[in-house]
Amino acid sequence: MADSQQTDPAPSWWSRPEGTAELRREGVPAPRPEAGQPGPEPGPAADPYTGAASGPEPDAPAAPVVRYDPWGDQPLQVVDRGRQRRGVGLWQLVAFGAGVALLAGGIGGYLGVVAERQSSTRLELPQAGVAAAGRAPGSVAGIAATALPGVVTLHVRSTDGSGTGTGFVLDAQGHILTNNHVVGDAKDIGVTFSTGESVSAELVGRDTGYDLAVVKVSGVRGLRPLSLGNSENVQVGDPVVAIGAPFDLSNTVTAGIISATGRPVTAGGDKGDGSDVSYVDALQTDAPINPGNSGGPLLDAKAHVVGINSAIRGADKDDPDRQGGSIGLGFAIPINQGKRVAEELIRTGRATHPVIGVTLDLQYKGDGARVGDKAADGKPSVVTDGPGARAGIRAGDVITKVDGQRVRGGDELIIKIRAHRPGDPLTLTVLREGRERTLEVVLGSANGS
């Protein structure tokens, strides 16, 4: 039998007809019996090809065939559609999106790291090239480069402990200038150069009144003496550079200006008898100076030494906000005075002091310096045939000016006098019995301590 596709019109039972089952056309299945009613008796199955009944007994009556009734109340098969699916909530979408974002970020970061490590391109930020090492001679860096080879750090050990100070080379013979309070009681003195080389030094001479001392090193080659300037040329506002070892930090460079000149400064006095008091007609600077800077050079714009850093003014001890270090008030001994004293110390081990041959009343509270009535040993306050006596100074006179510069006290008069050399002439303004007098005096000489 050849294969063919049925092309007959669709059977009319696809649309349920009105009427009884007896009116069904041939070949239309019988309706499904109602529940609880007996169905037709089973019979032999019909041959699907011939329509003839088949079975062991061909003559037996045919059993009723159960056919599918499309209009039956209960279909033969029931489709299990499972549990009804519910809609997706907003929080689930948010959680899902966050998870995807984290996963994507992690994967992207990992891939970026791997790509960077495997990339042959090297990351380099823009940077200036290497410049010439030299600096302008008048700059702070230029001044420091010139002076540092001639500056040394002093490590001193005494019976009271150890300390640090600064000095600078004066000549090729190894003489080094520093402060007396740095090496005054030293048992051992060590000198360290800017190159790091360290040697021992010996004390040549010192002077308490000027707070200056000279030590010497031996067997050191290539010494670089510093050039000495002239402190008379210094003016307020001039730039200066200080070099030293504050708190043992060697080769420390600071910069500032000359804040004032001719500042009367006294230091020392720890012994109580006045023998260790130094009187300085100082240069004032705001270049930071701290403990350990003492004895170091104060340099001008030409890298010439114009002063020896010696003292600082700190806050009052009873000030609750007292600052322990520099507050911008540093003082240096003028190099003209330091040069003269250093030369004398190198020659003789001692320095001379200019004097006028009078004893001052240091308890006097008025304006000026009053000549005492008697000396401490009971002798006359004006030395017989001394410089003051020859100039006409008398006991009780009040000296108010030196070379036209006002004097406010006895310490200031001493400082003004010691700023000169023995033999220098001075003009003194003296107040006597209410009248001012002008006296000419030639300074005498006395050995220092």
Which residues are marked as active site? 181, 211, 294
Between CA 311 and CA 315 the distance in angstroms is 13
- Structure-block tokens of residue 277: 């008091």
Q: Determine how many CB atoms are found less than 10 A away from the CB of residue 44.
A: 17
Q: Tell me if residue 98 falls in helix, strand or coil.
A: helix
> Alpha helix (H) ranges present in 12-133?
90-118
| 436 phi and psi angles, rounded to 5 deg | -85, 140
d(CA 293, CA 349): 24
Concatenated DSSP letters for 198-223?
EEEEEEEEEETTTTEEEEEE-S--S-
- Rg, Å, the chain Cα set: 57
Q: How far apart are CA 379 and CA 385, in angstroms?
A: 14
User: What single DSSP character describes residue 22?
Assistant: G
Q: Find out whether 350 and 205 touch, Cβ atoms under 8 Å.
A: yes
Cβ-Cβ contacts under 8 Å for 440 (sequence gap 6 or more)? 391, 425, 426, 427, 428
DSSP state of 398: E
**Cβ atoms of residues 448 and 352 within 8 Å:** yes
Helix (H, G, I), strand (E, B) or coil at 183: helix
The DSSP 8-state label assigned to residue 54 in this structure reads: -
